[in-house]
């Protein structure tokens, strides 16, 4: 029995590491192509340095670089539960990997599980933006009625936690579905949003559950303004020591929707 638990634990950790390695997606707005050698393009590179150092220091930054038409606005944020090291690694990777797929665009976003980075020529701070993607576990829950009732209650609870000023947009929690199954969920808004706009973004993500996550064992909503995720295993830090919940299985997700900003 012990060996089985160890195996599951190892397996779970390796899935986690593999998961956090690459970006989940990069989105470039092709209507915003610029001259690769322009001042805007140089400003993007300089902005990226600012975004990395600000995020490493504070977990979040919304700032700009440059003057006039070549001014570029950027925002970067780590998931509130990740360690400083993981945050730093994630945001550095984001800054490195955002430009190659979007070399000439001035509106680009990159989504990871642990962090998010975005820039644009218009000042977008404070506005709800639900462009992004949904991921779901291909497995379905066995008892949708009980599951959805628990899921709805947990989402309500952590959404109201996320809008409390001390929370910096983060809410997380768990709920027992049965003796052996625990549901884990986390929501987070970008910290430029007001409480009302945070609540609005989360409500849109959760409201999209019936469409994108219907009865699935796990689901992730990655929007430019907020992140919503639930799983039947612990995925946020500090990791839950209740190891029986590993019996909930690991995720097998796929992207089903990516809209252009
Ligand atoms: C791009 O910018 C460079 C240098 O500023 C200039 O020489 C070139 O003609 C520009 N190309 C276009 C397509 O605007
Ligand atoms: C889960 O449910 C969906 C919708 O009913 C179905 O299309 C899908 O095949 C199910 N997945 C599995 C793994 O059974
Ligand atoms: C994990 O599971 C094992 C085997 O059931 C148990 O002995 C141990 O106490 C559990 N650890 C924690 C931290 O719950």
Q: Which of 33, 34, 36, 37 to mutate to test the pocket of ligand 1 (most atoms within 8 A of CB)?
A: 37
Residue 62 β-bridge partners = 75
Same domain, yes or no: 225 and 145: yes
Q: Which of 96, 120, 144 is the last residue of a domain?
A: 120
As a whole number, mean pLDDT of residues 58-80 equals 96
Query: Cβ neighbours of residue 206 under 8 Å, at least 6 residues apart?
Result: 155, 159, 221, 228
Q: Output the CA angle 250-252-257, nearest 5 degrees.
A: 140
Enumerate residues lining ligand 2, CB below 6 A. Answer: 138-140
Q: What is the pLDDT of residue 237?
A: 83
The yes-or-no verdict on residue 163 having pLDDT over 70 is yes
Q: Are 72 and 119 in contact (CB under 8 A)?
A: yes
- For residue range 93-111, what is the model confidence (pLDDT) as tens digits? 999 999 999 999 999 999 9
- For residue range 9-23, what is the model confidence (pLDDT) as tens digits? 333 333 333 344 567
Residue 206 to residues 159, 244, 254, Cα–Cα distance (Å): 10, 27, 18
CATH (domain of 92): 3.30.430.20
- Decide: pTM greater than 0.75: yes
Q: Whose CA is nearest to atom 14 of ligand 3?
A: 242
Q: What is the pLDDT of residue 117?
A: 98
Largest CA distance in the chain: 65
Q: Whose CA is nearest to atom 2 of ligand 3?
A: 243
Distance of CA 145 from the midpoint of ligand 1 (Å): 60
Residue 227 to residues 68, 137, 190, Cα–Cα distance (Å): 32, 16, 8
Q: What is the pLDDT of residue 241?
A: 62
Distance of CA 218 from the midpoint of ligand 2 (Å): 13
Q: Which of 68, 98, 120 is the last residue of a domain?
A: 120
Predicted confidence band of residue 238 (pLDDT cuts 50, 70, 90): confident
Domain containing 192: what range? 132-255
Task: Identify whether 201 is part of a domain.
Answer: yes
Matching residue, tokens 């009625």: 145
């Amino acid at each position: 029995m012990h060996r089985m638990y160890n195996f599951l634990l190892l397996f779970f950790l390796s899935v986690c590491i593999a998961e956090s390695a690459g970006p989940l997606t990069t989105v470039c707005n092709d209507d915003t192509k610029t001259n690769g050698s322009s001042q805007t393009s140089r400003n993007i590179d300089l902005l990226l340095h600012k975004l990395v150092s600000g995020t490493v220091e504070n977990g979040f930054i919304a700032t700009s670089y440059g003057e006039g038409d070549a001014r570029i606005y950027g925002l970067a944020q780590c998931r509130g539960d990740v360690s400083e090291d993981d945050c730093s690694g994630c945001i550095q990777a984001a800054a490195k990997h955002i430009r190659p797929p979007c070399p000439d665009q001035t509106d680009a976003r990159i989504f990871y599980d642990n962090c998010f980075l975005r820039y644009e020529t218009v000042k977008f701070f404070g506005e709800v933006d639900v462009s992004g993607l949904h991921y779901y576990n291909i497995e379905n829950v066995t008892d949708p009625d009980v599951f959805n009732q628990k899921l709805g209650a947990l989402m309500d609870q952590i959404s109201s936690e996320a809008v409390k000023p001390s929370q910096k947009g983060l809410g997380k929690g768990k709920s027992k579905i049965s003796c052996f199954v625990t549901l884990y969920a986390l929501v987070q808004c970008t910290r430029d949003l007001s409480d009302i706009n945070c609540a609005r973004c989360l409500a849109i993500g959760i409201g999209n559950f019936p469409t994108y996550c219907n009865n699935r064992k796990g689901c992730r909503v990655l929007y430019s303004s907020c992140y919503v995720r639930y799983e039947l295993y612990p995925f946020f830090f500090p990791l839950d020591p209740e190891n029986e919940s590993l019996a909930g299985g690991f995720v097998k997700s796929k992207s089903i929707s990516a809209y252009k900003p």
